[in-house]
Amino acid sequence: MREKIKNFLKNNWFKILAILFLLVALADNPYSYYQLLRWVLLIIGAYSTYLAYKLGKKAWAWIFGAIAILFNPIFPFTFQREAWQFIDVIVAIIFFVSLFNKYERKN
Q: What ranges do the domains of the chain cover? A: 2-99
pLDDT (tens digit per residue) in 53-76: 999 999 999 999 999 999 999 999
Mean pLDDT by 10 residues, the chain (107 residues): 84 94 96 96 96 93 97 94 96 95 58
43-to-4, 7, 51, 59, 91 alpha-carbon distances in Å: 26, 21, 12, 19, 14
pLDDT the model gives residue 32: 96
Contact present, 42 and 73 (Cβ < 8 Å): yes
CA 50, CA 99: separation in Å to the nearest integer? Answer: 16
pLDDT the model gives residue 88: 97
pLDDT the model gives residue 9: 82
